Structure 1
Amino acid sequence: MTSHHHHDHDHPHPHTFHAGSEKAEQSTRWVMWITLATMVVEIAAGLWFNSMALLADGWHMSSHALAIGLAAFAYATSRRLANDRSFAFGTYKIEVLAAFASAVFLIGVAVLMVVGSVERLIEPQSIHYAEAVAVAVVGLLINVVCALILNHQGHEHHHHHEHGHKHHDLNLKAAYIHVLTDALTSVLAIVALLGAWFYGLNWLDPVMGVVGAVLVAVWAKGLLVQSARVLLDREMNDPVVEQLRGILTALPGTAVKDLRVWRVGSAKFAATTWLESESLQVADVHRAIEQSHLPLTHVTVQVSKP
């Protein structure tokens, strides 16, 4: 006996583009335009005032502008294609793919930042400290504002959690961490400029550029791993898997021969399972799963006799 069950009867796809996602799209668009404007100012100021730390902050922000732009694009694409039946399990992975692409770009930016910083260490240049510090402070304030916007949106997403299960909006999280990392890089730029300005530590400016590059690389690695795990369906270690296995093994006289679970939405999973039982009915399995309120939207069950 084999049966497929779709828990979200009212929706054609498990990735429903609800009001929270629309607000997340609007927030990321606002943050993208703010970040782009700040990026242009910081890069221009870094070139004009000969500050590698400021340039590194600007280039770092450019990577965030791209990543946040990709996040907004992914939200819009997911919404536009939400009813496209060619996506077997919905359009959620468009957002994950955008996060993966931005992480790859970040690695390239980190390399460029290191190269530029080493060049400044070998051939130091004069810096207009007062102007550079002013621009870096403005950049930091703008990053704080952007972080508050995205953090507020994150709390709204948290408000929409279902049945106590954690909501994983990788797109929103990616944008938020980008902004936070950029704020940290702004702080490094300010520290480097003040150290060189007041204490003559001219080497501090390019060194902070390297530190900023390391921060970018570390963040990029984390995002690559996290997004690749979803893209490759490597989520059999998610708590929902053992919770589902526990429900199935608790059914009288049932042996779980196979169980596969993968993510099809930010807080939605699909599953297939093969059970062996003398008397168990497929309807009994679906009833037990529904009563558990696990975040499962597609479940395929096969029951055979031992």
Structure 2
Amino acid sequence: MNRHHNHGHAYVVSRHKEVGRLKWVLTITLVFMVAEIVGGFFSRSLALLADAGHMFTDVAALSLSLFAMRLAQRPPSKTKTFGYVRLEILAALINGATLLVIAGLILIEAWQRLRSPVEINGIMMLSIAILGLGVNVVGAALLRSHAHDNLNVRGAYLHVLGDLLGSVGAIVAGVIILTTGWAPADPIISVVIALLILYGAWKLVREAAEVLLEAVPTHVDMDVVLDALRSIEGL
């Protein structure tokens, strides 16, 4: 009984930590998004406004994760005997699908820029990318410890990680553009980042779908389970 109580208490504590960290990441992401919108407006930088749009998807994903976690705490009802726990898995599926769309849009934009290069302000790009990297490192660090145990948190974590990779790529591209003036560095690095996002998002979508379909977990060998059941006397 005591063990069950301790386990329940540990779960509640872990849940509060997850919610608290998601709130922190949502706050700093929202603040940075507003800063990018203001900076893009006054500097007339389309790149800053475009990145602010990407950050908006992160804000939406984090908000969805928090909303799902709150709904998941509702008790079961007559019509929903299992409760609302699977809303978190559904949120993870939606976040993963959103990432797939974002990666696809990045690939399309990169292809267009390779065909028709545009002039890029390397100094502004590099400055914002460095600031964005700091914000995303903090966000990723806050969510990383809970991303292994909770698919919903992992979806939010992958959104932040995608932005982090974007910041790193933008820094590399900014340095190349400033030192060599070679504009295609920006779309080429964007393609690499998009492919990394696609890989992580596909894994998340597949895992969430398997949970919703009640598939056998990948770490469970059904032959071993059946052998164990057959060995039970009287079964």
Distance, in Å, in 2 between the alignment partners of 1:66 and 1:55 is 17
Number of the residue aligned with 1:222: 203
1:187 aligns with 2:181: no
Secondary structure of the structure 2 residue equivalent to 1:132 = helix
- Judge conservation of contact 2:143–2:157 (CA < 8 Å) in 1: yes
Contact 2:76 2:82 in 1 (8 A): no
With normalisation by structure 2, the TM-score equals 0.81
Higher RCO (C-alpha under 8 Å, 6+ residues apart): 1
Choose 38-47 or 131-140, whichever is displaced more.
Answer: 38-47
- Residue 177 of structure 1, aligned match among 158, 180, 184: 158
Query: Quick one: distance in 1 between partners of 2:223 and 2:27?
Result: 43
Q: How far is 1:50 from its partner?
A: 5.0
Q: 1:239 aligns with which of 216, 220, 224?
A: 220
Q: Which has the larger radius of gyration?
A: 1
Of the structure 1 ranges 212-221 and 242-251, higher mean CA displacement relative to structure 2 is found in 242-251
Give, in whole Å, the separation in 1 of the partners of 2:27 and 2:49: 19
Give 1:72's aligned residue.
66
Q: Is the 8 A contact 1:49 1:132 kept in 2?
A: no
**Change in CA separation of 1:239 and 1:177 when aligned onto 2, cut-off 3 Å:** same
Residues 243 and 94 of structure 1: CA distance in aligned 2, closer, same or farther (over 3 Å) = farther
Q: Deviations over 1:146-177 (max 9, x none)?
A: 1222235x29xxxxxxxxxxx83111222223
Percent of aligned positions that are identical: 33
On the 8 A contact 1:49/1:129 being kept in 2, the answer is no
Q: Which residue of 2 aligns with 1:125?
A: 118
Q: Which runs of 5+ in 1 are unaligned?
A: 1-8, 156-166, 255-306
Q: How does 1:1-306 map to 2 (within 5 A)?
A: 18-42=12-36, 48-51=44-47, 58-79=52-73, 81-152=74-145, 154=146, 168-235=149-216, 237-239=218-220, 245=226, 247-254=228-235
1:296 paired residue number: none
Q: Which structure features the higher share of strand residues? A: 1
The alpha carbon displacement at 1:137 in A equals 0.5
Provide the alpha-carbon RMSD of the alignment. 3.1
- Matched AA of 1:91: Y
